[in-house]
Amino acid sequence: MNFEGTAVAMVTPFNEDLTIDEEGFRQNINWLIDQGVDGLVGVGTTGESATLNHEEHHKVIDILIDEVDGRVTTFAGTGSNATSEALSLTKYAEDAGADFALVITPYYNKPQQHGVIEHFRQLNDNCDIDIVAYNVPSRTGLDMAPETIVELAKMDNITALKEASSDVDKASKTMRLLRQNQLEDDIVVLSGSDELTLPLMSIGAKGVISASANIDPRRMVLMVNSILDGQMDKALDLHYEMYDLIKALFMESSPAPAKEALKMMGMPAGPLRLPLVPMLDENREHLRKVLIEAGIIE
């Protein structure tokens, strides 16, 4: 399966007792679909996946698939630092009916590059679901080399890469290497850094998995579609319109700012689970100012 366009890395709204706010999650799903997004991600990094137990993880995936009901593409976060756990979660997502499994590289362990290849090979060989390999070294302490990504592209079920290394030159090397090996049609590259979506798409990426689109989905969709349609001047205007908001949404560890912004918008979000904590007062006020300037709140 190929994907292009805008997918939203959704927050997981919690009730005040830190249980999952199912009604709020369903509300957010429908709002985002109404804004024109092409895909939705449950229990990714923005969804505080690292603080959910497996039963809760399964619940979020089930709610996502049930509420979307085929209207947009569904991505289930299924990564873990243990290959056995990632395999179990990926099989669950497959059985539940997700379109893609979003699998982060193994964190903390810091495996060698051939260990990363073997990790994904185990998922590829034991599941039939399409897999998005997620490279985010700022979170994991591990950066997939372009040569590693080429090896993943040779696997039947690894059909997309979420690239969040913030290194556009490295992304160029990756896409060039894929072209040289005639693999550019076998793996779609998606931006994993919102502020670099336009640069990455200018060198061959086909869309974004976006955290900021929880807050401003319509403009992100419009920018991505403009790039896909070759309207680069329009896309550039939108890129700079969103820039301050994107930076504000990452001034503290994600998803703390996104959840705060959703609260300001009157949308379901709820508290954070420790070790994430509420934003500092001065940062919260800066975020409010940016949201007002962006026309998102009054």
pTM over 0.95: yes
Q: What is the 3-state secondary structure (H, E, C) of 122-180?
A: HHHHHCCCEEEEEECHHHHCCCCCHHHHHHHHCCCCEEEEEECCCCHHHHHHHHHHHHH
Predicted confidence (pLDDT) at residue 49 exceeds the cutoff of 90: yes
The residue count for the chain = 298
Predicted confidence (pLDDT) at residue 23 exceeds the cutoff of 90: yes
List 59, 92, 134, 259, catalytic entry = 134
Percent of the chain with pLDDT over 70: 100
Q: Hey, what are 271's tokens? A: 């508290």
pLDDT band for 191, please (50, 70, 90 cuts): very high
Q: Is the peptide bond before 217 cis (omega within 30 degrees of 0)?
A: no
- So what's the pLDDT on residue 9? 98
- So what's the pLDDT on residue 166? 87
Asked whether 200 and 163 are in contact (CB, 8 A), the reply is yes
Count of beta carbons in the 10 Å neighbourhood of residue 29: 24
- Residue 25 and residue 93: Cα distance in Å, rounded? 18
What does the pLDDT look like over 208-237, one tens digit per residue? 999 999 999 999 999 999 999 999 999 999
**H or E, element range at 189:** strand 188-191
Burial class (CB in 10 A: 0-12, 13-18, 19+), 44: buried
**H or E, element range at 75:** strand 73-77
pLDDT band for 112, please (50, 70, 90 cuts): very high
What does the pLDDT look like over 90-99, one tens digit per residue? 999 999 999 9
Predicted confidence (pLDDT) at residue 137 exceeds the cutoff of 90: yes
What does the pLDDT look like over 57-94, one tens digit per residue? 999 999 999 999 999 999 999 999 999 999 999 999 99
Predicted confidence (pLDDT) at residue 21 exceeds the cutoff of 90: yes
Give first-to-last CA distance, the chain, whole Å: 41
List 59, 92, 162, 206, catalytic entry = 162
What does the pLDDT look like over 256-292, one tens digit per residue? 999 999 999 999 999 999 999 999 999 999 999 999 9
- Residue in the structure block whose two tokens are 């689970």: 273
- Residue 131 and residue 87: Cα distance in Å, rounded? 11
Question: Quick check: is 134 catalytic?
Answer: yes
- So what's the pLDDT on residue 268? 98
Count of beta carbons in the 10 Å neighbourhood of residue 207: 27
Predicted confidence (pLDDT) at residue 1 exceeds the cutoff of 90: no
Question: Quick check: is 170 catalytic?
Answer: no
